[in-house]
Amino acid sequence: MYEIELEKAKEQIESLLQAALEGEEIVITQNEQPVLKLVPVSSAAPRRRSGSAEGQFTMSDDFDEPLEDFAEYMR
């Protein structure tokens, strides 16, 4: 993270923007208080595709059969 005073940032805006595009986080301060943050916008996560896990797991044939351990609760 890089901090710079607002007046100096005005003079160096092009280099600050380039640094932000390269991944640097830049905080611009005024009277020693942070007022702005320059950060690159992260790309959106790829959309999930329906059926992309097909064939990666299986379910047993008796998956939906009642469990013997819970017989007393199922009355």
What residue ranges in 1-75 does DSSP mark as E strands? Answer: 2-5, 26-30, 33-38
Distance CA 18, CA 36 (A): 16
**What's the pLDDT score for residue 49?**
87
Q: Coil, strand, or helix at residue 59?
A: coil
Which of 34, 35, 40, 32 shows the shortest CA–CA distance to 16?
40
Fold topology of 1-40: YefM-like fold (3.40.1620)
Residue with tokens 């942070």: 34
pLDDT band at 45 (very low <50, low <70, confident <90, very high): confident
Residue found under tokens 């992260």: 42
The domain locations on the chain are: 1-40
Average pLDDT over residues 10-31: 94
Residues in a beta bridge with 29: 5, 34
